[in-house]
A and B are shown apart, each in its own frame.
Chain A
Amino acid sequence: MKLTKLAATLAAVLLCASQAHAQVEIQWWHSMTGANNTGVNELAAKFNASQSAYKVVPVFKGSYPESMTAAIAAFRAGNPPHILQVFEVGTATMMSAKGAIVPVAKVMADAKEKFNPKDYLPTVTGYYSDSKGNMLSYPFNSSTVVFYVNKDAFKKAGLDPEKAPKTWKEFMAAAQKLKGAGQECVYTTGWPAWMHIENFSAWHNVPIGTKQNGMGGLDTEFRINSPLHVRHVAMLGDMAKKGLFTYSGRRNEGEARFASGECPMMTSSTGAQGTISRTAKFDWSVNFMPYHDDVKGAPQNSIIGGASLWVMAKKPAADYKGVAKFFSFLSSPEIQMFWHTSTGYVPITLAAYELTKKSGFYEKHPGYDLAVRQLTNKAPTDNSKGLRFGNYVQGREVIEEEMEAVFAGKKEAKAAMDDAVRRGNDILRKFEAANK
């Protein structure tokens, strides 16, 4: 009696197992939280419903660094996911891991999926392509820094809520007025290095590092201790001392302070729009980043942040066709529009941008298209295509450490930026040596 029951169960289990094999599972590791997490799951569900040969399985693997570590470990153990979402600062590391990844261009070509890089926004693809223009990773969620303004607070301080400061001079004037009107916190920022060093450099058409910010070779060096950079960081340090700039942390802690109304001006990712629109109890606007009007060429264009999808190697060959199909699916204008409008990340194809414009979305939600306009403000130069520094996770932290010392009044801007360059270059040289 017992034996037959066992045999029956065994048969059922085997049957189930073999059923699952008919549909190829594509493992997708990501780090999206909140509304973006919901969006990811919806994208997978939509794709899975549209065909039956492949099943994309999204798995939340923690923050970007955690997920990347897990993937590296999984790869070393011989069991990586098919698709891995890696933040932009990990690009150099992923690019150098030639045996661990499969370039997206190759995946699409092998699967004979239609794929034309020219359909995509140049600032976006340039970041993730090699020197020959082959796209290495799929630009899934790209954002850029924008300037948020609390219109109600502006009104209260006697400033014109429709005229956000365009230059840093105007910004300072507005800041003084807000402070005078009784604001404890006047300005805060998310992602300080991304905003005030990386995007700052691109916006003013000055280099972050040599060799086109590292895209041209591993022997790049930082240039962020130029007089302009030092002047800007010193300005921020001065503002901090006067209470015009409140430091919130290295990530996006500042966004909560803006959404709660505590700080009326903030620079941070476009990705914050979703949350702010749900929590802010005041009128607000999104604007171009401020710039120094005495710098020739400013404002140039901003660069992206966010993450891209990398395809890992060592999976069964047949699986990659599914990956290619998924990427084609993600690139369709309708899907792009869905992702863009529900998260605030920029649409990566021109077709998607046009479709969203036609739907009237931007009239109802001004600011969502601002990111695209800022990214495409001018044709990108060598200084504003993006950046590619090895071990930049560490590099960015080093820069932020030095900036924190300035904001806390413990270091002079020149000394801090010089140290940042020195320490940053050490990290770059180590990466270069390990990846010769």
Chain B
Amino acid sequence: MEKRVVFRSAWLPYALVAPQIAITIVFFFWPAVQAGWYSFQLQDAFGERTQFVGFENYRALFADANYLQSFKITAVFSVLVAGAGIAISLLLAAMADRVIRGALAYRTLLIWPYAVAPAVAGVLWLFLFAPSIGIVTFALRALGIQWDWVLQGDQAMLLVVIAATWKQISYNFLFFLAGLQSIPRSLIEAAAIDGAGPGRRFWTIVFPLLSPTAFFLLVVNVVYAFFETFGVIDATTQGGPAGATQILVYKVYYDGVKAADLGGSSAQSVILMFIVIALTVVQFRYVERRVQY
């Protein structure tokens, strides 16, 4: 897509893009290059001694069962967050699409969690599920369930999944609602005339037409689960217990900042970069195709 009418100037366009490019270079590319550079080195905490060690940091990472487990944890976490987030918001959007009265009110009341920072969402749910004083803990105990996420890794995972998903529901909801509302009524009416009930109509017509949105949201949710949930983890479990909630991005932070292992953390950063690139490529290639729908 190009414009026919354009301006020409020797210096103006450069001046206009300069701020963005400058910041991009200083704060994006230069650090990314450095991450790559550090990943090939072994340094002490204060940077007084550096040794070039080639791929040693990478080799050590892939030989580390904990790092590999981090991959698994991140995958599980992403699938749960994306899956639950999409399913629940789809249900809510489908219902909101049906009702005419109060639609705006429902929408208003469902979208505000988007404004909550992931870390704050984590804190809210942390409070509800706190082993000693949490309301939900109390209710669970009354039902006979021993809730102690500080020790039980599965429970800790459940806690962070709930906190992370809760926040994303509103985002997904908006997209699904917009998608549902853009489906031509004529299609649905035609199916109704043919005798299809609401359930069949949904699965045979609505859902397939919604699938581009769903796929798009899937990618967005996975990226969200990979990166933006750092705040959730840090505010609640800090990767524990026993690494049960240590997602990849948290490990990068922990190794780099708390353990002062610059080489290992940088190697992890580089690996994460490749993962993001893959995800972004998928997202953009797919979105390009979506436009043709």
- A interface vs B, CB < 8 Å? 65, 68-69, 72, 75-76, 93, 96-100, 240, 246-250, 253, 256-257, 260, 262, 391, 393-394, 401-402, 404-405, 407-408, 410, 423, 426, 430, 433-436
Is A433 a contact of B42 with CB atoms below 8 Å?
yes
Is B44 a contact of A96 with CB atoms below 8 Å?
yes
- Shortest distance in angstroms between A165's beta carbon and chain B's nearest beta carbon? 24
> Which chain B positions have C-beta within 8 A of A426?
64
Is B46 a contact of A75 with CB atoms below 8 Å?
yes
Instruction: Name the CB-closest residue of A to B264.
Output: A430
Is B151 a contact of A247 with CB atoms below 8 Å?
yes
> Which chain A positions have C-beta within 8 A of B44?
93, 96-97, 434-435
A65 to B255 Cα, complex, angstroms: 12
Q: Interface digits, B245-273 against A, CB 8 Å rule (1 contact, 0 not)?
A: 00000000001011111000000000000
Is B45 a contact of A97 with CB atoms below 8 Å?
yes
Is B240 a contact of A404 with CB atoms below 8 Å?
yes
A260 to B131 Cα, complex, angstroms: 14
Size of interface on B: residues with Cβ below 8 Å to A: 29
> Which chain B positions have C-beta within 8 A of A100?
46, 48
Is B240 a contact of A250 with CB atoms below 8 Å?
yes
Q: Which of B49, B153, B257 contacts A69 (CB under 8 A)?
A: B257
Interface residues of B in 62-81 (CB under 8 A from A): 64, 66
> Which chain A positions have C-beta within 8 A of B152?
408
Q: Which of A97, A249, A430 contacts B46 (CB under 8 A)?
A: A97
Is B260 a contact of A262 with CB atoms below 8 Å?
no
Number of A-B contacts (CB under 8 A): 83
A250 to B242 Cα, complex, angstroms: 10
Q: Is B150 an interface residue (CB 8 A)?
A: yes
A367 to B51 Cα, complex, angstroms: 50
- Shortest distance in angstroms between A425's beta carbon and chain B's nearest beta carbon? 13
A256 to B130 Cα, complex, angstroms: 13
Is B150 a contact of A391 with CB atoms below 8 Å?
no
Q: Is B243 an interface residue (CB 8 A)?
A: yes
Q: Is B292 an interface residue (CB 8 A)?
A: no
Is B48 a contact of A72 with CB atoms below 8 Å?
no
> Which chain B positions have C-beta within 8 A of A391?
259-261
Pairs A–B under 8 Å by Cβ, sample size 19 = A65-B257, A76-B46, A76-B47, A93-B44, A100-B46, A247-B151, A248-B131, A248-B150, A250-B240, A256-B132, A391-B260, A391-B261, A394-B258, A394-B259, A408-B152, A410-B153, A430-B42, A434-B44, A434-B49
> Which chain B positions have C-beta within 8 A of A250?
240
Is A405 a contact of B48 with CB atoms below 8 Å?
no
> Which chain A positions have C-beta within 8 A of B60?
430
- Shortest distance in angstroms between B246's beta carbon and chain A's nearest beta carbon? 10
> Which chain A positions have C-beta within 8 A of B150?
247-249, 253
A184 to B114 Cα, complex, angstroms: 39
A248 to B257 Cα, complex, angstroms: 25
Interface residues of B in 110-137 (CB under 8 A from A): 131-132
